[in-house]
Structure 1
């Protein structure tokens, strides 16, 4: 298949450190353009690309067939809609939109035009999450009764970032919460109810920087939590079953590598050293459980092959819509202080 001309809309930290490297190592794609409103920073690493000052200018030039939107969350809906109306395939960084209604509208539009529309849920390709999937499939812990997933960091000082400003789509729930809910949805499906405690804990914070979300199922409790004031070791995953437990610390190694500017290449990409592996605790046995390789490099080839009609999308809009409905229920639960039944 010919390389698909790809444009990146937005070149902030996520665009520069995550999307651009993953696009450039994808054999099926060619990064040909970047939308930067004021600078030309992307030219430093990609001198052959063309810079556009607006998404409208990009679409007018008809420079690319796949548009990757990595802008502040409140811009996603209008920008994705504009691209779809112009006949472009679209990938949007999570969350795809701020409401499930907007996501449904985009999905309908994409289907009517025969276009690919997806959301960047790269955390499905975290090594620790893939390991949890395997652990559950193998049934090592027996029937699960408790699943806990954390995304904790220590960032006590506010920064000049749109996610921490008083604008729609700000905060940690739309950011990290989208990942954790997506993972839980993949594992267990739609919950019966949602209960959430969402807070702004840092002094002068206007955006939420903590959440504790419980998803209710028949036989398992799912607890999802994130904080930016966690400076002590907290488990990334904690699973408890009738035969034993599993606990895993530390974030996937790919994020640190990408932030350090490493290209996602080589046979050792995404492999975690043994010291980071999680531990299985059974009644008469305790042992380290090897973390599977994480590999974000698999994401963009799937998008390309879906555009070519030779693969189904791994991240479907129906899943993104379900995740948004859970997020909406979480905010409602926090507002009214009780469970929200779906």
Structure 2
């Protein structure tokens, strides 16, 4: 296989969990460089990678063609721009940037230089997300009229991470963090909405960045899509609730890839490496062809974040479609920016 040399801009949780394991196990990639400013933790698992102490040093010295910008969101624009100017293709962790203007500028720069930007929207490869897409495509729900997508947690105490919780830092808070996933899923399922209304604030208090949001997306044909997240949710809700003119579908959030990776699981190339689902995680209630009600318990099939890197590889080597290109994810940033504006002004914002 053609070997693609890659460099990681950081070796925090994102690098350790979501990127390095997949780059190492995919036979088409080679981790040539890792940035660790003061430590050398990557040596144990990735001894073949050269450790650099700054992104600038890596871009100047490392023999790489692909750069993963997995630093705090407030630095995405800076490092992505430097990587593009150095002639590197880039993968940027979500959220893409802190606002639309930064995302648009990076996308234009990449096009001018004949390079690509892909945003790491890994939740498109979650088992639950894929199951909902399967149900929509299957047609048993009919025309979707109402949908709710949630991503809740129970984290009532501060994490201490300033780039995520300091309200004075643009890009901090749940809206940019978890909201980047929910907005992306809504756009993938239904396209770009016409307008929105949002409620965004901090349940922990004004000294912390937003940890709660509710966004109501207005679509043509009277479709309403609600995106919601709270850190004061001890009991789990259904992550997806979809209602159509023929039936309803309720889906739990059951993808466990992140937890398994944190616990030390090694993703295996070419296989469904995750633990199988025990039992059911969805409910389908619909009118069949005889207009009789059927209620079925469903089980989702495995997701696989390796599929993201496989698509990156196929794009570089064969020219296949790029997963979550920057130009596409700009739409997500427009929705996030508009949500902040809506919450601040307490009004509906046209898109």
Q: How far did residue 205 of structure 1 move? A: 4.6
CA offset digits 1:37-66 (Å, max 9, x no partner): 111111121122111010110011033111
Q: How far did residue 169 of structure 1 move? A: 1.1
CA contact (8 A) 2:279 2:299 kept: no
Mapped pair 1:196 → 2:198: yes
What pairs with 1:228-267 in structure 2 (closer than 5 Å)?
228-265=231-268, 267=271
Q: How far did residue 268 of structure 1 move? A: 4.1
CA offset digits 1:172-200 (Å, max 9, x no partner): 11011011101110111110001110110
Partner of 1:280: 284
What pairs with 1:85-234 in structure 2 (closer than 5 Å)?
85-161=85-161, 162-165=163-166, 166-203=168-205, 205-218=207-220, 219-234=222-237
Distance, in Å, in 2 between the alignment partners of 1:277 and 1:47 is 40
Q: How far did residue 69 of structure 1 move? A: 0.8
What pairs with 1:246-325 in structure 2 (closer than 5 Å)?
246-265=249-268, 267-270=271-274, 272-282=276-286, 284-325=293-334
Distance, in Å, in 2 between the alignment partners of 1:227 and 1:205 is 17
Aligned mate of 1:337, from 322, 326, 346: 346
Unaligned 5+ segments in structure 1 are none
CA contact (8 A) 1:73 1:168 kept: no
RMSD: 1.5
Distance, in Å, in 1 between the alignment partners of 2:219 and 2:330 is 19
What pairs with 1:10-159 in structure 2 (closer than 5 Å)?
10-159=10-159
Partner of 2:290: none
TM-score (norm 1): 0.96
Distance, in Å, in 2 between the alignment partners of 1:310 and 1:173 is 33
Describe the shift of the 1:309–1:205 C-alpha distance in structure 2 as closer, same or farther (beyond 3 A): farther
Distance, in Å, in 2 between the alignment partners of 1:164 and 1:261 is 27
Aligned to 2:187, the other structure's residue is in SS state: helix
Q: How far did residue 276 of structure 1 move? A: 4.0
Distance, in Å, in 2 between the alignment partners of 1:339 and 1:21 is 43
Describe the shift of the 1:340–1:107 C-alpha distance in structure 2 as closer, same or farther (beyond 3 A): same
Distance, in Å, in 1 between the alignment partners of 2:275 and 2:119 is 25
Q: How far did residue 239 of structure 1 move? A: 0.7
CA contact (8 A) 1:3 1:28 kept: yes
CA offset digits 1:203-245 (Å, max 9, x no partner): 4651111111111012311011111110012111111112221
Unaligned 5+ segments in structure 2 are 288-292
Aligned to 1:152, the other structure's residue is in SS state: coil
TM-score (norm 2): 0.93
The alignment of Structure 1 onto Structure 2 pairs a total of residues equal to 342
Aligned to 1:212, the other structure's residue is in SS state: strand
Distance, in Å, in 2 between the alignment partners of 1:256 and 1:214 is 30
Distance, in Å, in 1 between the alignment partners of 2:298 and 2:254 is 16
Distance, in Å, in 2 between the alignment partners of 1:216 and 1:25 is 42
CA contact (8 A) 1:254 1:269 kept: no
CA contact (8 A) 2:272 2:304 kept: no
Q: How far did residue 280 of structure 1 move? A: 0.7
